[in-house]
Amino acid sequence: MILADNAIPPQFHIVADAAYGLHTNVMIPYPNKGHLPDELDRYNNIHSSTRMVIERTFGDIKNRWLRL
């Protein structure tokens, strides 16, 4: 399993959505239950933007494989 101990070197992280549990090397957004402090809200916005880039990249890769 990718989240097993020592499967991911400590300097690397996986950017995941809130469906994943908190793990040492998994970055998930802070739960937005009401109002978040500005720095946590900013983190969630950057996290979301990063995930969108990754999801678009996977979509592009899937589309390229269809053409082969």
pLDDT at 52: 92
Rounded to the nearest 5°, which phi and psi values hold at 27?
-100, 115
Task: Enumerate the domain spans of the chain.
Answer: 14-67
pTM of the complete model: 0.72
pLDDT band at residue 65, thresholds of 50, 70 and 90? confident
Which residue type is seen at 43?
Y
State the SS3 of 14-58.
EECCCCCCCECCEECCCCCCCCCCHHHHHHHHHHHHHHHHHHHHH
Contact 31, 21 (CB under 8 A): no
> What pLDDT, in 10s, does the model give residues 15-41?
888 888 888 888 899 998 888 999 999
Percent of the chain whose predicted confidence (pLDDT) is above 70: 90
- Cα–Cα dist 50/19, whole Å: 16
pLDDT at 2: 60
